[in-house]
Chains A and B, each alone.
Chain A
Amino acid sequence: MRDFISEKARIIPHSGIRKFFDLCMGMQDVISLGVGEPDFSTPWNICEASIYSIEQGVTSYTSNRGYPPLRQALAADLARRYNVSYSPESEIIVTTGVSEAADIAIRAVVDPGDEVIVQDPAYVSYAPCITLTGGKPVPLPCREKDHFKVTPDALEEQITGKTKAVLLNFPSNPTGGVMTRDDYRAIADILVDHDLLLISDEVYSELTYEGTHCSPASLPELRDRTITLNGFSKAYAMTGWRIGYLCAPPEISDAALKIHQYVMLCAPVMGQIAAYAALRQGEQDKNEMVREYRLRRNLFVEGLNRIGLRCHMPQGAFYAFPSVEVTGLTDEEFAERLLKEQKVAVVPGSAFGESGRGHIRCSYATSRENLSTAVERMGTFVSDLI
């Protein structure tokens, strides 16, 4: 029989955590800091709105762009929160999670041979999505010494004649780094001078602990060369509902809509109804969750530094990204031995790209009790090494 696997499917790598998954299975009493989702259940008023609509028989397709009241509410919310204005009729598409939004954004703009600069370390799906279109992902190192931000120099260094777009994700998974308005201003000229598109995944935007989130599309010079991606998963503890959205100028939005139409048709209506409820009634629950993440961050990062793992104070998302260099272990060895010896699951930083090497990603989206126990166990583990 022939080998039926396509060239592209062959070259995209397996996820870097599969090995850990296997190790973890069957182990008892593991504290997992390896999870990229909130530990809260979706607030009940959001669930209830969706349950009620199912009872009313609202179970069909929605318009391709998404349930119109949701798009209108989104446009109002984005304007109020981030000072960006998008038309609900021609610029916003509701997608099946931000994962789909990132995929169709990339497919709408990347041709074979195009280079896309991607922040490194970063969420794992961007580079494979670029590869699948025939484009080339080019890593853009974000260093701890720069608070894991994108600096103008580092950006300029990666630009070639083939560069078409830059893909950023702030607040960052896995580093917790953020970009302020001034940070974006510092790179805006470069994007304009080289005529580049910015794809900005802001799914952690509401989990910003210091100051307010800056959406780069709120900078006038970037407005029409930015695709803004965001979603409900992290802010409203709605990962399983699979609702994200893409905002872009009409031409790009139209191109992405064609792809969305053919591959997804529309996002699930139950999720869209829930998302609409989240915008209308979810604010207080969200604020309470954000407050809790911040308390946990303070507790956990202090603990990491106390046991000798140097950790940058994350300004957003719910990840701490400490360095493990002091232990003399690689990040992979550290993660594997920590799991086996102390039953704490973390993700090696190199799973998120070369620049993540020497760090581990610890999610603090787990209870304070779990975090305290995890710090204790990590302390025991580390004290034998340093």
Chain B
Amino acid sequence: MDGKDLLILHLLEENSRIPIEELATMVELPVKEAERRIRALEEARIIRKYAAVIDWEKAGNEEVTSIIALKVSPERDFGYDRIAERIARFREVKAVRLVSGRYDLILLVRGRTMQDVARFVSEHIATMDQIRETTTQFAMKTYKENGIPYDEREASERLPYSF
């Protein structure tokens, strides 16, 4: 990994559909070399996948998102890993993080309705032996996701000419 690899990653994260010629020109590499580096980054699983950022609210999807904090008793020999991996297997769970502070694991859970999410948590998560406490917070509105603000503010008008 060098500066050029990092630059390639930034550019792909921002727009994974950027034409390879453009990308190569911008990072000051021949096209072949840029392609080779991207392949290497894919093979090293540094690039995990290429996906779209979607404003689901705008798409009319009524799905709800919740942030669930868990207090967990760690297991001898495994710590938090085994329970976290088990939780991560559920389709409903979109993200799992071990965090510092009052709680141990923070989950991002999506479901069709609030009831669905609540049921999922009470039936599948809260019932696990190691879970000592859960708290569920439903997202009301998304203002920014993946670094992209969702409000469409008009850019301020610039003069067409200035020295």
Q: Give the B-binding residues of A (Cβ under 8 A).
A: 15, 17, 20-21, 24, 30, 32, 34-37, 39, 41, 123-125, 173, 291, 295-296, 298-299, 302, 345, 347, 351-352, 372
B161 touches A35 (CB 8 A): yes
Alpha-carbon distance between A32 and B160 when the two chains are bound, in angstroms: 6
Contact A17 B22 (CB under 8 A): no
Closest to A339 in B: B160
Q: Does B36 contact A (CB under 8 A)?
A: no
A299 touches B158 (CB 8 A): no
Specify the chain B residue showing the minimal Cβ separation from A25. B160
In the complex the two chains form, what is the Cα distance from A35 to B163 in whole Å? 7
- Quick check: B158 and A298 within 8 Å, CB to CB? no
Given contacts A36-B163, A298-B25, 20 further A-B contacts (CB under 8 A): A17-B163, A20-B160, A21-B160, A32-B158, A35-B160, A35-B161, A35-B162, A36-B162, A39-B155, A123-B163, A124-B163, A125-B163, A291-B7, A295-B7, A295-B27, A298-B27, A302-B25, A347-B163, A351-B163, A352-B163
**In chain B between 1 and 50, which residues have their CB closer than 8 angstroms to a CB of chain A?**
7, 10-11, 22, 25-28
> Is B61 in contact with chain A by the CB < 8 A criterion?
no
How far, in angstroms, from A20 to B22 measured CA to CA in the complex?
Answer: 31
Instruction: List the B side residues contacting A351 at CB < 8 Å.
Output: 163
CB neighbours (8 Å) of B155 from chain A are: 39, 41
Whether B159 lies near A35 (C-beta < 8 A) is: yes
Report B145-163 residues with CB < 8 Å from chain A CB: 155-156, 158-163
CA distance A32 to B155 in the complex (A): 14
Give the shortest distance, in Å, between A346 (CB) and chain B (any CB). Answer: 9
Could you tell me which B residues sit within 8 Å of A by CB distance? 7, 10-11, 22, 25-28, 155-156, 158-163
Give the residue name and chain of the B residue nearest to A124 (CB).
B163
Are the CB atoms of A347 and B26 closer together than 8 Å? no
Q: Is the CB of B25 within 8 A of A347?
A: no
Residues of A within 8 A of B159 (CB): 35
Minimal Cβ-Cβ distance residue in A for B19: A372
| Bound CA–CA A39/B155 (angstroms) | 9
Contacts of A35 in B (CB 8 A): 158-162
Enumerate chain B residues within 8 angstroms of A345, measured Cβ to Cβ. 160-161
CA distance A36 to B28 in the complex (A): 25
Q: Does the CB pair B26–A34 fall under 8 Å?
A: no
Chain B residue numbers with a CB within 8 Å of A21 are: 160-161
A41: chain B residues within 8 A (beta carbon): 155-156
CA distance A36 to B162 in the complex (A): 5
Q: Output the nearest chain B residue to A125 by Cβ-Cβ distance.
A: B163
Tell me if A37 and B160 are in contact (CB < 8 A). no
Q: Tell me the minimal C-beta distance from B12 to chain A in angstroms.
A: 13
A334 to B162, CA, bound (A): 18
Given the complex of chains A and B, what is the CA–CA distance between A37 and B11 in angstroms?
24
Query: Most B CB atoms within 10 A — which of A30, A125, A295, A347?
Result: A295
Within the complex, which residue of A30, A291, A299 is in contact with B160, where a contact is CB–CB below 8 Å?
Answer: A30
A205 CA to B21 CA in the complex, in Å? 30
Give the one of B7, B10, B26 with max A CB within 10 A: B26
